Amino acid sequence: DGRMVLFSGPCAVESYEVCAKVAESLQKICDRLDIQYIFKASFDKANRTSVDSYRGLGFEEGLRVLDNIKQEFGLPIVTDIHESQQAKPVSDVAQALQIPAYLCRQTDLLVAAGETGKTVKIKRGQFMAPEDMQYAVNKVKSTGNEKICLTERGVSFGYHNLVVDMRALPIMRQFAPVIFDVTHSVQQPGGMGGSSGGKKQFAPYLARAAGATGVDGFFIETHPTPSEAKSDGPNMIPLHKMEDFLTMAKQAFELGQQAKNEVE
């Protein structure tokens, strides 16, 4: 509806308490700032670097917590799916299904997500040219579902590093609305031995850059106490910093919305 969109929450469904604390705070902030808010958390982290990493509460318990958040706060929910048989049960709770970046070429998964009729949020693969994301969009559209958004989260740049190519934003907006994933764009894949590291200090710079380039919204992981988060803590924006962060992101977003882009 033209308003800036925010997908945000802790990385994993750690507990109802953490989820509720985040949902409550962000709902208030987004009301004040006129931002459309969707609660995000993963019920299961299926692609952690190490087999011993924390993966969340598991499928059933994780979905139950997400459903509680939805009921309690009246918030739409987004969560990611990794195999096609998860699409249906997850769609009973979530309003949007997120396709992880590594899986953005898996036809069965995209089709299963599309068939639920829910919004399908596809992350750009770290190995995909931005114009090739149209094929992922078309796989979902082949089910008759046109509710699709894309997400930019950086592209492979040598080993253990990602770079955000801002040109990808206008290219992908030709196919669907585009969300900028602040958190994973500053990730350093596998950069900490058996887990992924990050450079959180770049998050505000990249958020402003993407907003000014032109996007439809942001994806930001947050936590009341990032140092205690069970996943992706190093990259998270602390919950108490989110209002300032979103205020800044919205200024950049508005600049991007108003801009003219003709050069001939």
- Name which of residues 12 to 51 contact a second copy (CB under 8 A): 46-51
Burial grade of 259 (CB within 10 A; 0-12, 13-18, 19 or more): exposed
- Binds a second copy by CB under 8 A, chosen from 70, 73, 238, 243: 238
- Binds a second copy by CB under 8 A, chosen from 36, 89, 224, 248: 248
d(CA 214, CA 202): 18
Nearer to a second copy, 1 or 258 (CB): 258
- Binds a second copy by CB under 8 A, chosen from 117, 167, 174, 225: 167
Q: How far is the CB of 73 from a second copy (least distance, A)?
A: 25
- Binds a second copy by CB under 8 A, chosen from 15, 71, 161, 174: 161
Q: How far is the CB of 204 from a second copy (least distance, A)?
A: 5
Residue range at the interface with a second copy (CB under 8 A); choices 13-21, 31-39, 91-99, 159-167: 159-167
Q: How far is the CB of 205 from a second copy (least distance, A)?
A: 5
Phi-psi sector, 27: left (phi>0), alpha (psi -120 to 50), beta: alpha
Tokens of 34: 């006129």
d(CA 1, CA 131): 25
Binding residues with a second copy: total (CB under 8 A): 78
d(CA 159, CA 148): 30
- Supply the DSSP symbol for 202: G
Phi-psi sector, 110: left (phi>0), alpha (psi -120 to 50), beta: alpha
Nearer to a second copy, 5 or 140 (CB): 140
Tokens of 226: 């990032």
By CB under 8 A, the residues from 50 to 109 that bind a second copy are 50-51, 55, 82-85, 102-103, 105-108
Nearer to a second copy, 40 or 55 (CB): 55
Q: Determine if 149 is a binding residue for a second copy (CB under 8 A).
A: no
Tokens of 40: 């995000």
Q: Determine if 158 is a binding residue for a second copy (CB under 8 A).
A: yes
d(CA 39, CA 67): 11
By CB under 8 A, the residues from 169 to 228 that bind a second copy are 169-170, 189-190, 194, 199-206, 208-214
- Binds a second copy by CB under 8 A, chosen from 126, 197, 224, 257: 126
Q: How far is the CB of 51 from a second copy (least distance, A)?
A: 4
d(CA 243, CA 230): 23
d(CA 258, CA 188): 33
